Amino acid sequence: MWVLSMLSALADNKTIMAIFAALAGDIGLYVAGGISRAKQDAAKQAAEKLAAAQDRLEMDREATDAERAARDLPDEAARREAMRWARH
């Protein structure tokens, strides 16, 4: 019974209610900031994955071009070209 009277007294006190409201708002902003940071991290990781995929695609294109050029070479020249690519 005394708990209800304390809660009623606290609810009537505008200063305490303003403090509780401010705390609730701060907690809400903190949670929203965490969600925002998580979304930013996810976007950054997605951009890094896309850049890595584009790099792999470009390397595959270069390798394919080198393979096509090597087909027309004599065996010894093709071997030298393959060794050059193997060092990269």
Rounded-to-integer distance, Cα 10 and Cα 23, Å: 15
DSSP letter (8 states) at residue 70: H
Q: pTM for the whole thing?
A: 0.45
As a whole number of angstroms, the distance between CA 88 and CA 82 comes to 10
Question: Domain range spanning residue 31?
Answer: 2-87
Give the pair of three-digit tokens for residue 18.
């303003």
Tally of domains within the chain:
1
pLDDT (tens digit per residue) in 8-59: 776 677 777 777 778 888 888 888 888 888 888 889 999 999 999 999 888 8
Evaluate whether 41 touches 53 at the Cβ level (below 8 Å).
Answer: no
